[in-house]
Amino acid sequence: MRKFSINQRLFSIGSKFDVLNEHGKEEYIVEADKFDIGKNIYVYDLNNRRILFLKQQIRIGAHRYIAYDSNMMEIAEIRKEFMFPEYNITGQMGNIKMRARDVLGRHYIIEKENREIGRIDKEISIFTDSYSLEVFDEEYTVFLIGLLVIIDMVRYHENN
Q: How far apart are CA 60 and CA 138, in angstroms?
A: 34
- Is the predicted pLDDT of residue 150 greater than 80, yes or no? yes
For the CA atoms of 7, 148, 75, 136, the dihedral, rounded to the nearest 10 degrees, stands at 100
Tell me if the pTM is above 0.85: yes
| Contact between 77 and 65 (Cβ < 8 Å) | yes
pLDDT confidence of residue 12: 61
Domains of the chain, each with CATH number or no CATH = 2-156 (2.40.160.200)
pLDDT confidence of residue 160: 38
- Is the predicted pLDDT of residue 38 greater than 90, yes or no? no
φ/ψ of residue 71, rounded to 5: -95, 10
- Is the predicted pLDDT of residue 156 greater than 60, yes or no? no
For 37, other C-beta atoms within 10 Å of its C-beta total 8
Tens of pLDDT, residue by residue over 46-91, are 999 999 999 988 766 678 899 999 999 999 999 988 777 889 999 9
